[in-house]
Each structure stands twice: as structure tokens, then as C-alpha cells.
Chain A
Amino acid sequence: MVIDKIKKVTVIDTKANTKASDMMVGKWIKCDNCKEILYKEDVRNNYSVCPNCGKHFRLSSRRRIAQIIDDGTFEETDSNLHTTDPIKFEGYTQKIKLLEEKTKIKEAVKTGFGKINGINVAIAVMDANFLMGSMGEVVGEKITRLIERAIEKHLPLIIFCASGGARMQEGMVSLMQMAKTSAALSKLNKAGLLYISVLTDPTTGGVTASFASLGDIILAEPKALIGFAGPRVIEQTINQKLPEGFQRAEFLLEHGFVDRIVERKDMKEELYRILKLHNY
């Protein structure tokens, strides 16, 4: 489980600052990396990357799609799918409802079709704001349907991963989504279609141990946490502190599990260049 996220700070100092009129609740955020107080609008206009230190903040699926897919070309699929609460876990459906209201999204992945500089792609974008981006039956089903449609339509597939792993509240049904999505990717492989997996902060657990690690090409955002076991679990197991940078994108690059680290501002162009070289 990963806990760090953008800390919202309420700035009450209205005297000292020159931008006093903007010092209102919710307009400012504090970078959890360099501790700089940042104007939200500046961060937004900078791909949600800290203008001071380059920290890539977590992105909502909606904003990610806006950054990657050509304006007005995204067609969402299966947005009306909800969980059947397979193990009837107490409080789960209520929790999902609350999250839907709070986050204004349904489920931890958006799937659909769109264009990248004019090239048609099938795309899935996970959202860590929704139950840590955990994979339950809806996430697994939406991704599997997307892969199957990509095969039908002969489209390249791009998945932006962001997940704490399998969704515990769905018990074994969630674990089985790892097998289901991986099996669908095996079909995509046999159809000779390109799959680019993009690992963003955080990509862990059952998602790392399934589709996230199965891209023909695996890209990662700078400093993204990527691993199978969570850092705390490892620390408890080996009974020592983890070295600096452990399980970060750069660590995976060094150990051979990521093809390239790509900054967010370059991501769309990078994807486009790769697609072009695969004759799409």
C-alpha cells in the first residue's frame, strides 16, 4: 500500500504574500518532495509536474486522457459497469458509492478508443484515486474487453498503470483478474499487435504481476514506485530499511525491467513515435 499523495494545505497567511488575493483554500498545494508551496494552476499547466523539482504528481484518469489523447477523439467504453460485490463484503458497495460521489469517477480504470496525433489506439488509464487503483472484477473485465476489441479492430493497445494491486474486498475474484487479463494479452500477442505498458506512481501488487509487466514496450514515469511487494512488507520481512530509490522507476530501468523512463511532458510524442515505427 502506498500512502504518499499531494498534501492539500490551507494557507491562511494573507498579509505577507504578494499574491494575497489568490491565497484561498484549495488554490495552493505543497509539493511533498521539495516542500515548495505551489500555485495549483501553475502545476496543472505543467502536466501536474512540480515546476520546482520535477516531481510527477498523481494524475486522474480524466486528466491523463486529456494529456495523451487528441482533443475530442476519446470514446469511452463500458463506463456503466459496476461490481457485483462477489464475496458480499460488508460495507463494500456503500464504500464504492461514496467514492463515486467523491471522485466523480466510476471505478479505477477508464477504457476506450482515441487518437494520438491521428493514430487510432485502444487505451486504458487507471486511477489511483479510486480505492488505490485496485483491480477487482470491473477493472479486470474492462481491460479484458478492451484487449478483445483491440484484437477485433487491429488496434495497438496502451495501458497506463496505477494500482495498489488486487482488490481485497473482492477476494479471489480479484486475484483471478490477473489470469484473465494476462490470458487476453496472450491473444493480443498472437494477433501481432503492439502493447505499450506505461507504469506510473504507484504500480504494485497484482497489477505489476500481470498486465503491467507484459508490455512489448514498458515505459515508466520518473520516480514512480513500481514493485510486486509493498515497501513496508519488504522492510518487515528483511528487518532493515530499504535503500534510497528502491523500487523506483530508475531502479527498475537499472535492473532491466523497464525500457525507458519518459517525462510526462514528452509522453504523448514518445508514444506517437513508437506507434509510427510499428506502422500504425
Chain B
Amino acid sequence: MTAQTLDPATAPEASWLRVCRVADLEVERGRAALLGSTQVALFLLPDGSVHAVDNHDPYSGANVISRGIVGTRGEAPTVASPMYKQVFDLRTGACLDTQGKDPAALRVWPVLLQDGDVHLLCGDAR
């Protein structure tokens, strides 16, 4: 979700938070970020887009999603939880391979890339 169309100026109620520089991220190797008490997993893809999802893994309860393997399932960019290997769609947070468990999804944050900075849309304005 590289929401280049979303402009902080035209979305005043939304709080865009600068998290890091794009250059702090490595292609296809995730990083965790801390927003208050919430943990977000950031992923930079080969096409230059950045995706932000829960770092919290709903299946294991541990904060590990940022340490999963990034890949694709069909058209969907994905991350696989390093704990029990459930695979999630980075665009929607939906679980594409539940490993036989019940479905559970990751929260997704809108991302804005501006001047080499990564901003996330935070709070209830989503």
C-alpha cells in the first residue's frame, strides 16, 4: 500500500507518523517499529513499495512477523510467520495459508512515502 495518493495535507484528521527512512529498510527483509505500545512490521519490496502490518503474530502471540520470510503467493506479496509458518498477504493482512488453523488476520497500516521517509497512518482515523 504505497498510498502516494494520500496526502497528509488533505487528510487532516488522520495522523501520519514518520517512522524511519526508506533507506533504513532492506528489500525483502522486514524491520519492526515501535509506535507507543504497538509494534508494526515494515517491509520494503523490490518494487519500492513499503507495507506495514502487525508485528504481533496472532497464531503464536509473539511479536515476530517482521522476522518472517517475504515472498509471493500468486500475485500477492506475502510474509510467512517465522513461528508456525502461517502466510499473510502484505496488502490486506489476510492469512492465505493458515496451516490448518482457523483464519486470523494482521492489521494493516496505510503507508506514505515522502522525501525518503516512511509515514504510517495511525490512530482511529483509519
Do A and B make up one complex? no
Which B positions have Cβ atoms within 8 angstroms of A?
none
Which A positions have Cβ atoms within 8 angstroms of B?
none
